[in-house]
Structure formats: C-alpha cells, structure tokens
Amino acid sequence: MRKNRKSVEGRKETEKRNSIGKIFIKGDLLTKLSFLIMGASNLFRGQIIKGLLFLFIELVYLYYMITAGASALVGLRTLGTKTQTMVMDETLGIFVVQKGDNSMLILLAGVVTIFVSVVFLVAWKANLNAAKEAQELQEQGKKLPSFAMDLASYFDKKLYRTLMALPLVGILLFTVLPLFFMILIAFTNFDNAHQPPGNLFTWVGLDNFKTLLLSGQKIGKTFWPVLGWTIIWAILATFLNYIGGILLALLINREGTKLKGMWRTIFVISIAIPQFVSLLAIRLMLKNDGPINYLLQEMGIIGEKEFLPFLSNPTWARVTVVVVNLWVGIPYTMLVVTGILKNIPKELYEAAKVDGANPFVIFVKITMPYVLFVTSPYLITQFIGNINNFNVIYFLTGGGPLSLDYYQAGKTDLLVTWLYRLTTGNTKDYSYASAIGIIVFMLSATFSLITYRFTSSYKREEEFQ
C-alpha cells in the first residue's frame, strides 16, 4: 500500500512539473519556441530526427485544417444549407438532380476533425514534454539521447506503450469515434423525413430527450412502460438465473450426487447450442399452432380449437421469455459457482458441523458470503447485460405482441429492441434511437458504479485475500 501511495504521489508530482504553465514559466527560449513551432527545442539541441517528426506532425495538421478541417468545423454549425433538388437542364430538356449538402457527411467530417485535433493536442503536449526534458538534460550537462536510443526505449522501459498503441488506435477508431458520432445524432432531428442526401437534418438540442421523457406524445407514453418492463425483466432474469444457478451447482456438487460430470455436461449443452438456433426453435414450438399446443389438444388438456397464448398474450409472453431465459442463463451461473464451491476451505464446513450448524445455516454463513463476494461483479455485469439482452427478446418474441398504444413497440420490447425497431422501421427515427441509447448507457453506468461500491467485493477485499 505504501509503495502504491508513493507511486501515485510521484505521478502527481511529475504531472505538476510537466504542466503546460510550469513548462512555459521555467522553459528557456527554445522551450518556449516549441509552443509555436513543434520540435524547435529538439532541433536546435541536436535531436534532429525527433524535432523533424514533431514539426512534420504540425505541418500535416495545419495543411489538413486549411484544406478541409476548418470548413468541416464551420459546417457543424448548420449541418448543411443546400437541399438536393431537381432542376431543368436546358441542353438535355429534362430534369436532372442538383446535388446539395449531405448532413451526415458534414457531421462525420466535423467529428473526424475534432478527433484529429484532440490527437494533435496530445502530440503537441508530448512535444512540450520532450522540449523540457531536453532542456533539463542540457542544463545538467548530460548527453541528449539519440533517436535510436529513444526508439530502443519503446522496446524496453516503454514497452507497455508499444504494446498498447495498436489496441488504443483500434478502440479510438472503432469504438470512441462511432460512439461520439451516435451521441451527436441524439441532438438532431435525423429521421426518415430528414434523411440525406435528399433532405437535411439540423440540431434540435435536447428536444428528443424532452419528447421521450416529458412529452405527452405517443413516443413519450411508450418510453416509460418500455423502461419499466426493461427494469423488471433485468431484475427477474438476473436474480432468478443467479439463484437457480447457485442451487443447481449445490445440488450437483453435494456429496450424495453421483455422475457429477454427466449432469454438468447435460446442462452445458444449452450453452454449446447457438442461442439464435435454440430460441427460434422454441419460438416455433410455442406458436399458437405449434407442436406444444397441438400436443396439449391431443392430450385433452385444452379444447380442440383452443390454444395457450404463449407468445400472443402480453402477460403470457412476458412470463414465457423469463422462463425460457432461465433455461439459457442458469448453466452459466452453475459453472461459475461450481468453481467457487471447489475453492471454499473444507475446514470451515467441518468446524460448522462440529458446532452443530444445520445445512441452511452453513449455506447462509459460509457458502453464500464466499459466492456473493466472488460473483458480485459478475452479478452486476449480468444485470447490465440483461438490460441490453437483445437475443432472447428478439429471437423468441420479436418484441411482440404489438400494441396500438405503443409507438413502434411491442409488449415484450426492451429499450434495446425498441431502439432497433426505431432504426429499421418506416420512420427511421435515428435521433430518438440515439437518445434512447444514451439513456440506457447513463442508467447502466450509474447503476454499475454505485452498486459496486456497496458490494463486499469492494468493501471487504482485504478479508478474502
């Protein structure tokens, strides 16, 4: 703990020493010149290649901003002003398409420019740190490292940076950039009526969030019931699977159970089969005219022309998805808990039996605390995963049964499946879908951060080490 505290304090001290203000105040003329001309300090102190690389980065950025970046940032203000229209070509004597602005491309170009500018600022700060380091080494009378030595350090002391470079670039390009673009879409009126290239979309501020959360419009009246069902579903799906998995693991691992490996294998089969295959098969079986209703009719349990509305009645459909999800999810928890049970010290159980504790007390006082400690992060992850559980709902019920009271949503739709409907339906409500995505993220992140701080995994970590 002391080492960690010292390392944290050391990093804070380094950050203060390398702050932009400190570098400017304590820097000499060459270091101050690096604020305007990247690499100047390194160039004039003999680190030619390093200085040229910084200068090259600055020149490329300036060229990009002059040729495309500046106009892209200006375009973000309006997202386009010229609409695509049909005009008469006097030469051909027919109407031809006159291209207009494309709001999506303008927004994308602006996002890319912001992204490039942030990367440039990181490089600019690295240039200042390098300038200050070169100044300090020169003042101390030490030899400045050559470019080859700097490069070699990235395969030695700074190897972690080399290893993290490619994953970091991938995350920025394929996760952060699209996510930022999607967030901005939530503040526009991008839908089927404002779809480029034929039409333009514009900024509407927080109107989409107001419509979803506060308005009396149909989409606003749909949001709250869907959110309520999403939370109910997440609670039931998470805790029923969790409790069922623990009980199943205890049953299989108890001393009197024979052929433990066989039982585990049987339950793991549901994991091995792709979910979309098993869920679509169950969907066919549970249809009003499916095999299960036919079998019930043949057995005389229901009338010849009757059927159990597993998927066509809202209440039945919701119960069905919860029950089917048990079949899908319990084996995962069973496997996790099995590993935990095998690592609980047997001495604890033996001591409890000597003290006269019954199986229930042993479970509550010994087994459950260990299982809960290890699986608390898993439990939180499962809850968030169930909020975004697209597969079970979409492949089993398709979000149905549909309701005229809802705006493009069914009675079993979660926020994530409703979001999908909004983007693939006739209205193409991309802006509302993006707003819903942001709301789901905020709910998930807030719940995860707050809940984890109250778990035993966070509070009592040292007791279980």
| 95 confidence band (pLDDT: 50, 70, 90) | low
pLDDT above 50 for 1: no
Q: Are the CB atoms for 335 and 268 separated by under 8 Å?
A: yes
Q: Are the CB atoms for 80 and 106 separated by under 8 Å?
A: yes
CATH of domain 208-460: 1.10.3720.10
Give the HSE-up count for residue 222: Cα atoms under 13 Å, Cβ half-sphere. 24
pLDDT above 50 for 44: yes
Structure confidence at residue 5 (pLDDT) = 45
Structure confidence at residue 8 (pLDDT) = 43
**What sections of 342-404 are H helices per DSSP?**
346-354, 359-362, 368-387, 390-396
* End-to-end Cα separation, the chain, in angstroms: 14
Q: Are the CB atoms for 75 and 102 separated by under 8 Å?
A: no
Q: Write out the two tokens for 358.
A: 């019954």
Q: How many CB atoms lie within 10 A of CB 51?
A: 25
Mean pLDDT of the region 189-203 = 89
Rounded Cα–Cα distance for residues 415 and 226 (Å): 6
Structure confidence at residue 31 (pLDDT) = 92
Structure confidence at residue 303 (pLDDT) = 87
Q: Using the structure block, give the residue that is written with the tokens 């420019």.
A: 113
Averaged confidence pLDDT in the chain? 88
Structure confidence at residue 10 (pLDDT) = 47
| 2 confidence band (pLDDT: 50, 70, 90) | very low
- Of 55-69, 92-106, 330-344, 349-363, the range with the lowest mean pLDDT is 92-106
| 459 confidence band (pLDDT: 50, 70, 90) | low
pTM of the prediction? 0.84
User: What residues does each domain of the chain span?
Assistant: 14-204, 208-460
Task: Indicate the burial class of 345 (C-beta count within 10 angstroms; 0-12, 13-18, 19 or more).
Answer: exposed
Instruction: List, for residues 377-406, the tens digit of each pLDDT value.
Output: 889 999 999 999 999 999 999 998 988 899
| 401 prior amide bond cis, ω within 30 | yes
Structure confidence at residue 97 (pLDDT) = 66
Contacts of 120 (CB under 8 A, 6+ apart): 57, 58, 61
| 450 confidence band (pLDDT: 50, 70, 90) | confident
Q: Write out the two tokens for 457.
A: 């995994």
Q: Which of 110, 113, 57 is nearest to 80 (CA)?
A: 110
Structure confidence at residue 458 (pLDDT) = 64
- Of 66-70, 179-183, 227-231, 446-450, the range with the lowest mean pLDDT is 446-450
Over pLDDT 70: what percentage of the chain?
92
- Of 183-197, 311-325, 425-439, 443-457, the range with the lowest mean pLDDT is 443-457
Q: Which of 295, 319, 299 is nearest to 309 (CA)?
A: 319
Instruction: List, for residues 101-140, the tens digit of each pLDDT value.
Output: 899 999 999 999 999 999 999 999 999 999 999 999 999 9
Structure confidence at residue 57 (pLDDT) = 97
